[in-house]
């Protein structure tokens, strides 16, 4: 184990990898063609084995789109995006979406706006993205949601949390459950505004009316904290049935899948959350939860860590203590420096990335948890879906269940209360980083912030 109390204040690193981890929670345009329901044309995966009737219908659709039919253009965009009856082709999807957007179609404008925000098909430009969202927000609930995300996360605009809430509530009124859940979590945690439990509850209930999985998780947590255990169980059970779940999930799942898995995890954790820990067997350290904004996992995870220790700081206010702009990643050296500005004493420790290092890391982790102290860690996800082949994400570990070789995460990227179960094997795979900041010096390790003793 390497320990460091080096004085921070190093070069800011924009963690493009974290950008995508946060983006997974931003949720792309989810409306399929024609009112949110996919066409009956079969999903061929690679466009193979399409029936003659389906092929004829597709050619007719292309002809209509080529002739300027906006609905047909939008439909083709979604089909190419999702591989419905054709091979998935995001470039072709964007071409047809652009044509429909240029004709004023709101859902197509949202589609194009998100492409500019994501920056995978075309060079990212959040200023252009927010322009499309603004143009579409009055007619598209998804665009209103994405516009709220931009205002909340300072993407293409100055941060404006009241305006984010305005657009999320507009989207919720138009039937967007995820928007209702996001607004509920902001009011619940008081992230950038005064907490408002009544507003939070109403919005969570609206999300549940719309059968949003994150809303079911959030309302279930409110009910659990209020002693309404049966109602909490019912909502978490309902959430767990909306998407496939397993014994544990992946911490970087898309939001709906993550919320369904959270429902299953929270059902399992009910008894553990009510019991006193048994050192060496299990521990659960309750932590406050703040749902992160765009690209703000580091500051948000640190704000929850600070709140655990008695602070009232939010994720965005913690970010403002660091030199990097809102909406960009944050160097861990600056996060460590920020902790001293609020009168807290943390230290950075690292463990080697090999098996021996993991054994040392988890032995230390369990000793901290047994003592009632969570830790902040940095994960590295690897895969072709991430820009540059990898993505980083900062979150906390707040418990373990030794008998099942499970650990409990408090993840700012998922729905409140942020709790997720993870296997020891997955923790070993993900808890590693070589780009958490200049303190890493490019060396792969298992980094953690801990409370200095």
Residue burial 253-263, b: 16+ Cβ < 10 Å; e: rest: bebbbbbbbbb
pLDDT 10s digits, 84-114: 989 999 999 999 999 999 999 999 999 999 9
Residue burial 119-145, b: 16+ Cβ < 10 Å; e: rest: beeeebebebbbbbbbbbbeebbbbbb
Of residues 255 and 105, the one with the higher pLDDT is 105
Closest among 392, 348, 400 to 6, alpha carbons compared: 348
> In the structure, what pLDDT confidence band is assigned to residue 53 with cuts at 50, 70 and 90?
confident
Cα(348)–Cα(427) distance, integer angstroms = 19
Instruction: Give me the chain's average pLDDT, please.
Output: 89
pLDDT of the residue at 57 = 87
Residues 383-403 have a mean pLDDT of 89
Judged against a pLDDT cut of 80, whether residue 14 lies above it is answered with: no
pLDDT of the residue at 55 = 83
Strands (E), 190-260: none
Q: Can you list the domains of the chain with their CATH numbers?
A: 2-15+275-451 (3.90.70.10), 25-237 (1.25.40.10)
Tokens matching residue 349: 């420790």
pLDDT of the residue at 121 = 78
Judged against a pLDDT cut of 80, whether residue 48 lies above it is answered with: no
pLDDT of the residue at 230 = 98
pLDDT of the residue at 36 = 36
| 192 phi-psi bin (left φ>0, alpha ψ -120 to 50, beta other) | left
Task: Say what the pTM is.
Answer: 0.87
Judged against a pLDDT cut of 50, whether residue 323 lies above it is answered with: yes
pLDDT 10s digits, 407-432: 999 999 999 999 999 999 999 999 99
Judged against a pLDDT cut of 60, whether residue 11 lies above it is answered with: no
> In the structure, what pLDDT confidence band is assigned to residue 453 with cuts at 50, 70 and 90?
confident
pLDDT of the residue at 50 = 57
pLDDT of the residue at 119 = 86
pLDDT of the residue at 388 = 76
Residues 373-402 have a mean pLDDT of 91
Tokens matching residue 347: 């230290």
CB 134 within 8 A of CB 117: no
Judged against a pLDDT cut of 60, whether residue 26 lies above it is answered with: no
Judged against a pLDDT cut of 50, whether residue 402 lies above it is answered with: yes
> In the structure, what pLDDT confidence band is assigned to residue 31 with cuts at 50, 70 and 90?
very low
Among 15-19, 318-322, 365-369, the least confident range: 15-19
Of residues 234 and 47, the one with the higher pLDDT is 234
Cβ neighbours around 323 below 10 Å, total: 13
CB 129 within 8 A of CB 116: yes
For residue 50, what are the contacts with CB-CB under 8 A and spacing of at least 6? 41, 42, 44, 58, 85
Closest among 416, 24, 450, 439 to 225, alpha carbons compared: 416
Residue 263, CA distances (Å) to 111, 242, 275, 356, 420 in order: 30, 10, 19, 34, 9
> In the chain, how long is the greatest CA-to-CA distance?
71
Residues 111-138 have a mean pLDDT of 94
pLDDT of the residue at 1 = 37
pLDDT 10s digits, 343-361: 999 999 999 999 999 999 9
Q: What percent of the chain has pLDDT over 90?
A: 79
Among 30-44, 202-216, 285-299, 420-434, the least confident range: 30-44
pLDDT of the residue at 391 = 86
pLDDT 10s digits, 304-317: 999 999 999 999 99
Residues 153-170 have a mean pLDDT of 97
């Amino acid at each position: 184990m390497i320990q460091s109390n080096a004085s921070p204040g190093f070069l800011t690193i924009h963690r493009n990898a974290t950008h995508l981890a946060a983006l997974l929670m931003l949720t792309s345009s989810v409306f399929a063609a024609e009112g949110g329901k996919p066409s009956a044309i079969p999903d061929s995966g690679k466009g193979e084995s399409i029936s003659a009737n389906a092929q004829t219908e597709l050619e007719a659709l292309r002809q209509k789109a080529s002739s300027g039919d906006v609905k047909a253009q939008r439909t083709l965009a979604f089909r190419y995006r999702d591989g419905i009856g054709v091979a998935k082709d995001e470039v072709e999807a964007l071409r047809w979406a652009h044509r429909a957007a240029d004709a004023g179609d709101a859902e197509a404008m949202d589609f194009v706006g998100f492409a500019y925000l994501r920056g995978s098909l075309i060079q990212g430009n959040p200023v252009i993205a927010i322009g499309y969202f603004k143009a579409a927000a009055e007619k598209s609930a998804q665009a209103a949601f994405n516009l709220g995300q931009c205002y909340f996360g300072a993407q293409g605009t100055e941060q404006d949390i009241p305006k984010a809430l305005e657009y999320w509530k507009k989207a919720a009124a138009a039937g967007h459950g995820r928007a209702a859940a996001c607004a509920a979590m902001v009011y619940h945690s008081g992230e950038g505004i005064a907490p408002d439990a009544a507003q939070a509850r109403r919005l969570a209930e609206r999300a549940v009316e719309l059968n949003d999985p994150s809303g079911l998780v959030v309302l279930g947590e409110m009910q659990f904290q209020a002693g309404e255990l049966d109602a909490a169980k019912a909502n978490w059970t309902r959430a767990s049935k909306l998407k496939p779940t397993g014994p544990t999930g992946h911490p970087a799942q898309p939001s709906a899948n993550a919320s369904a898995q959270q429902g299953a995890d929270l059902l399992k954790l009910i008894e553990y959350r009510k019991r006193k820990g048994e050192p060496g067997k299990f521990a659960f350290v309750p932590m406050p939860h703040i749902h992160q904004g765009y690209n703000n996992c580091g500051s948000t995870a640190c704000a929850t860590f600070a709140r655990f220790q008695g602070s009232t700081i939010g994720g965005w206010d913690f970010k403002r203590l660091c030199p990097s702009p809102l909406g960009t990643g944050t160097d861990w050296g600056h996060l460590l420096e920020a902790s001293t500005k609020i009168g807290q004493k943390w230290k950075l420790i690292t463990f080697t990335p090999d098996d021996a290092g993991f054994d040392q890391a988890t032995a230390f982790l369990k000793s901290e948890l047994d003592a009632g102290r969570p830790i902040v860690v940095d994960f590295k996800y690897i895969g072709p879906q991430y820009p540059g082949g990898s993505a980083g994400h900062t979150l906390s570990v707040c418990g373990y269940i030794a008998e099942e070789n499970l650990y409990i995460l408090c993840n700012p990227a998922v729905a409140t209360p942020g709790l997720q179960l993870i296997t020891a094997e997955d923790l070993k795979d993900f808890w590693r980083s070589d780009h958490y900041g200049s303190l890493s010096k490019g060396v792969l390790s298992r980094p953690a912030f801990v409370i200095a003793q």
